[in-house]
Structure 1
Amino acid sequence: MSIAGQAVGLFAVTNVDDLLVLALFFGRGSDRRATWAVVAGQYLGFALILAAAVAAAFGASFLPSGVLPYLGLLPLALGVRAAVQAWRHPVDDEQPAERGGPRVLEVAAVTFANGGDNIGVYVPVFATAGPAGTTGYVAVFLVLVAVWLAAGRHLATRPAIARTLSRWGHVLLPLVLLGLGLAILLEGGAFGW
């Protein structure tokens, strides 16, 4: 199988969970600024994942493996913040919520924190692929980020999903972020769990 085919499969397997998160972020704002924030944040967060994986694969690891589980604290903190905001500003059931859209750094932080497993999977692949192979993987991954963004946006704009996100997104986003943070912490064995 070619590097491109392997890269597509590897990306899909390691990023399937991002689709729901992207749809939730897109559901928080439908204007151009919100869309730009999700796109820029996703690319920034994924670029950080790739930089960490490439650096680790070529021996310049600046993120020791023991630190990766604690990346779960980022989405956990963002989830707590979103839950506090939802609690302070309850939504009238008759009127869908008008919330502030996502911020670039918020999306990037969640993407990077959710990418701890990606880094763990990408490092051995990049280490064995060499510089040319790694460049191929990275190029395919960056194209696939755009596909994932389009799929997340598509999900968020389907009428039934858009209504649900508009009405319940302020509750779903904190729950997903809290769950994601806890999953990263628990799966990585943070705090000796």
Structure 2
Amino acid sequence: MSLGVLGRAAGLFAVTNIDDIVVLALFFAQGAGRRGTTRSIALGQYAGFAGILVVAVAAAVGATLLPDSAVPYLGLLPLALGVRAAVRAWRDRGGTDEERSARDGGPTVLAVAAVTFANGGDNIGVYVPVFATAGVGGMAVHVVVFLVLVALWVAAGRYFATRPAVAEALSRWGHVLLPVVLIGIGLLILVEGGAFGL
């Protein structure tokens, strides 16, 4: 295993997942002060990313699990979660940050996994040709590096959400930003993939 392969795998992960740090920070802000938030987010991120890897590896070895025409419809997952979060934010608009936090159960493993997986449609498109040309050994190195870096991404999301200036902004605007980001991700996936003839 060469350092070049490790470096390429790390670079590929960083480039295809930079947007996840923002989403993770928003999830951490949503669950601020709640027990189990880090565990839920980490498990959800790993579950969603494992789904991305399973599809990418299967497609790379020729066993396509999702037809290409179905991938854009994954955008419906973050779109639905964003609309749900927007409805909740609208309903709770008159309350204080503390009241909103008390009513909000924080991010669930399933919600984080769904957003991660749905946001990974572009990742799958990038990973499949890389995995197909890397061979079994190279594919295994990529998978291991990616799984190690998921932990770093979760830590980075938590770090940004707990910086005083960022935490204050997320505390004040996170209930608005999370639905906007999720709806934006969902719409972007749907439009870029041509879902519903868009």
Contact 2:85 2:178 in 1 (8 A): yes
Q: Where do 1:92-103 residues align within 5 Å? A: 92=95, 97-98=100-101, 99-103=104-108
Q: Post-superposition shift, 1:174?
A: 0.4
Does 1:173 find its partner at 2:178? yes
Please, which moves more after superposition, 56-65 or 94-103?
A: 94-103
Q: Does 1:52 align with 2:55?
A: yes
Q: CA 1:173–1:94 in structure 2 vs 1: closer, same or farther (change >3 Å)? A: closer
Normalised by the length of structure 1, the TM-score is 0.96
SS in 2 for 1:19: helix
Q: Residue 150 of structure 2 aligns with which residue?
A: 145
When structure 1 is superposed on structure 2, of 121-130 and 96-105 the one drifting more is 96-105
- Name the structure 2 match of 1:76: 79
Task: For 1:12-27, list aligned pairs within 5 A.
Answer: 12-27=14-29
Match of 1:41 among 41, 44, 68: 44
**CA positional deviation for 1:91:** 4.5
Going from structure 1 to structure 2, the CA distance change for 1:134 and 1:89 (only over 3 Å counts) comes to same
TM-score, with normalisation over the residues of structure 2? 0.93
Any stretches of 5+ residues in structure 1 without a counterpart? none
What is the deviation of 1:167? 1.6
In the alignment of these two chains, the number of paired residues is 193
Please tell me whether residue 160 in structure 1 is matched to residue 165 in structure 2. Answer: yes
Cα distance in 2 between the residues matched to 1:96 and 1:120: 42
CA distance in 2, matches of 1:148, 1:34: 15
Is contact 1:93–1:167 with CA below 8 Å preserved after alignment? no
Amino acid at match of 1:42: Q
Question: C-alpha root-mean-square deviation of aligned residues, in Å?
Answer: 1.4
Gaps of 5+ in 2: none
Match of 1:111 among 108, 113, 116: 116
